Structure 1
Amino acid sequence: MVEHDAPGATRAAYDAVAATYEELFRDSLRDSPLDRAMLGVFAEAVRADGAGRVADLGCGPGHVTAHLDGLGLSAFGVDASPAMIELARRAHPHLRFDVGSMAALDIADGALDGVLSRWSVIHLPPGELPSVLAEFHRVLAPGGHLLIAFSGSEGPAHPTQVFDHTVAPAYRWWPDHLAATLRESGLAETARMVREPQPADRRQFQEIHLLARKA
């Protein structure tokens, strides 16, 4: 697959599996206390420093957006997949969900107190990551918070690695490399959580959660 075709191919792949994806993941937070803990830390930081306006970028069927709403945030979701957005709107009609691209968000400069990106950047070709992180920086207000989750690579010798994702081609990132790219985009890491793979896990790689803040 040629890199410039990646967004369209990923969108089509998620459209094709949207219903199955929703069924598999709608209750995923219930069995993930560490994920809930990081989302709670993120929500508390956002509420402490702003009005609680948060975009869940790559929201899928909207279950995490709804969780953020339950934590007292003014959350809305954005996803490139129209099928995912349709499912999200159906499941959570009281919340806002928009079809859109992380690379060109229809959000004003400095409009948000928080940005959540859970396993959405894994589908970015490495050369596109800096521009997407710059877009996250653009839409965040000064002092705004970013929580980004992704699959970790095996070491600094291989800062990005392609892996066999079930839905679409994807990349793993060495955490220090991604944190450095965040810094270059004006987002300073404030906390990190690393979850090692467990025998029963669907994912067989480290799960990395980085919390960062716009200066």
Structure 2
Amino acid sequence: MEDPKRIVQQGYDQLGSLYRTHYEETNPLRYSNWLTTLAQLLPAKAKVLELGCADGIPTARFLSQQFSYLGIDISPIQVEQARANVPEALFQVADMATLTFSRLSFDGVIALYSIIHLPLAEQPALFKTIYQWLAPNGYFLCITGADEWTGVDSDWIKPGTLMYWSYADAGTYRSWLIEAGFTIVESQFVAEGNSGHTFFLLQKKA
């Protein structure tokens, strides 16, 4: 199989603004609820990192109104769109698995349906790294897989667009997150069609 990260980058580049259309057709209110929950927990002027920011809507637009926000995405096209959509926020093209930040750099980290685009073998180490990036009492909100699966969709959203995912099951994610040091504040199954994902709200206790 082609390099999974190249598949993800090229897929989101090819989709461009169609990814936003897809999001709007699913459940945008779900995102609003998650973002409101996180915002209510963060201190004033918090520093927030988003892994997999796409075009900046709605997450960057919402969080940058209250907080110092940095969005990361592997797709240059999505980052270009994010900079146009949310000019007051900061964005960077990068592979989330190879990012380097100082310890205690952020009060909050958010990753909605993005870590599951990484090869599964890289995900536990990223959770440990995120824990190090967070300040004491910081929060990590993420959406992971619910059932184990790794594969490629050859016609995702747009015919001919390849996309790669790699999931563990919810119990495995729970174990990895606890092993990384997180306290689980809330977790729940997020139903989507005939399957779904897992919502985690986590905290780095002081």
Query: TM-score of the superposition, structure 1-length normalised?
Result: 0.82
Deviations along 1:125-175, one digit per CA (max 9) or x if unpaired, are: 22111111122112111221100013421xxxxxx2125542412133322
1:195 to 2:190 alignment? yes
Aligned partners of 2:70, 2:8: CA distance in 1, in Å?
21
Partner of 1:109: 103
1:12 to 2:2 alignment? no
Among all aligned residue pairs of Structure 1 and Structure 2, give the percentage whose two residues are the same amino acid: 24
1:121 to 2:119 alignment? no
Aligned partners of 1:164, 1:205: CA distance in 2, in Å?
16
Query: Within 5 A, what are the aligned runs for 1:165-204?
Result: 165=153, 166=156, 167-198=162-193, 204=194
Aligned partners of 2:90, 2:150: CA distance in 1, in Å?
33
Aligned partners of 2:56, 2:91: CA distance in 1, in Å?
8
Aligned partners of 2:88, 2:21: CA distance in 1, in Å?
20
Are the equivalent residues in 2 in contact too, given 1:186–1:214 (CA < 8 A)? yes
Q: 1:164 to 1:205 in 2, by over 3 A?
A: farther
Aligned partners of 1:101, 1:142: CA distance in 2, in Å?
25
Deviations along 1:72-92, one digit per CA (max 9) or x if unpaired, are: 222221111111100100111
Are the equivalent residues in 1 in contact too, given 2:120–2:168 (CA < 8 A)? no
Q: 1:43 to 1:162 in 2, by over 3 A?
A: same
Are the equivalent residues in 2 in contact too, given 1:51–1:113 (CA < 8 A)? no
DSSP 3-state at the match of 2:72: strand
Partner of 2:142: 148
Are the equivalent residues in 2 in contact too, given 1:105–1:135 (CA < 8 A)? no
Aligned partners of 2:192, 2:106: CA distance in 1, in Å?
33
Q: 1:33 aligns with which of 29, 32, 36?
A: 29
DSSP 3-state at the match of 1:37: helix
DSSP 3-state at the match of 1:61: coil
Aligned partners of 2:117, 2:77: CA distance in 1, in Å?
18
Partner of 1:213: 203
Are the equivalent residues in 2 in contact too, given 1:189–1:211 (CA < 8 A)? yes
Partner of 1:156: none
The one-letter code sitting in structure 1 at the alignment partner of 2:124 is: P
The one-letter code sitting in structure 2 at the alignment partner of 1:38 is: W
Are the equivalent residues in 1 in contact too, given 2:79–2:91 (CA < 8 A)? yes
The one-letter code sitting in structure 2 at the alignment partner of 1:214 is: K
Stretches of structure 1 that go unaligned for 5 or more consecutive residues are 154-159, 199-203
Partner of 1:84: 78
Q: 1:196 to 1:9 in 2, by over 3 A?
A: closer
Deviations along 1:75-118, one digit per CA (max 9) or x if unpaired, are: 22111111110010011111111111211224322110000000
Partner of 2:40: 44
Query: TM-score of the superposition, structure 2-length normalised?
Result: 0.85
DSSP 3-state at the match of 2:185: strand
The one-letter code sitting in structure 2 at the alignment partner of 1:150 is: T
The one-letter code sitting in structure 2 at the alignment partner of 1:209 is: F
Partner of 2:62: 67
Partner of 1:201: none
